[in-house]
A = this chain, B = another copy of it.
Amino acid sequence: MTEELHWKTAITGVEPNKVRLRGYPIDQLMGKVSFSQAIYLALKGELPSPAVGRLLDAIFVSSVDHGAGPPSVLAARTVASTGAELHACIAAGVLAISRWHGGAIEEGMRLFQAIARLAAANKVSEEAAAADILAEMKTRGERASGFGHRVHTKDPRTQRLFALAEELGLAGPHVRIARTVEKIFRESMGRPLPINVDGAIAAVLCDLGIPAEIGNAFFIIARVPGLVAHIQEERTRMKPMRKIHPSDFEYDGPGEREA
């Protein structure tokens, strides 16, 4: 074999008794940084401040689970009901996180970034740039991802995420642009289209410098634990091969309580 296949990677260096993530010995990170900080380090290459870690924690917490109805949960439960192993059930759930389910984060990020770029390029206000882009999208029959929700008219998770971003000093131009877009919808349309949790996450991830093409990864990372909870419930509480109704279910867990 003379074919040259040698390649390089900048993520993790491994030597006997040493594993270094982006240069940091993993055993030194353990106990010092949170899982969320380590995720950022893996993806961006630099260790984030504890403040960024806390904001990421809030993002991941916001998306751990949204109930039994989303297609990712139904796909994972359907596979679990056939007696498949854990990893197969998780993989099926992840495959259902796609354009129409979870995809709003990446699309929202691209929208906010496009508005920021246009405002900078044309030296106009973000509001003018946003109005232009939204008008164009309307012409093409496209709707803005990250706004409006079938169930939640005023998503409490959006409010909380933006409040935290402000508190931690991490709200930047993209959070501002997201609010501008919401304002344009409210003022120029009969029906308001409030920022939903996907739109809020999109704005905050942009301000944290995450590239749009891995925006959906944050949703997938957050949701895998929720999928595991559903898979485990399916296995331990339900009969194999039951017919899984996609909406006729009720919550029978603990009543409302305070953290």
Contacts and interface: CB of A to CB of B under 8 A. Distances in A.
A12 B96 contact: no
Given A98-B84, A228-B43, A66 B12 contact: yes
Copies of this chain, how many?
4
Contact of A253 (B11, B246, B256): B11
Contacts of A258: 24, 28
Majority DSSP secondary structure for residues of A touching B: mixed
A182 interface: no
A135 interface: no
Interface stretch (A126-134, A136-144, A173-181, A210-218): A210-218
A156 B29 CA distance: 11
Interface string A1-35: 10101111111111011111111111111111111
13 contacts: A7-B242, A9-B251, A9-B252, A23-B253, A23-B255, A23-B257, A27-B157, A33-B57, A75-B78, A87-B94, A88-B88, A92-B92, A100-B240
Given A23-B256, A87-B98, A90-B220, 12 more contacts: A5-B247, A6-B248, A11-B226, A14-B151, A17-B154, A27-B160, A30-B157, A38-B225, A42-B65, A43-B225, A78-B78, A79-B98
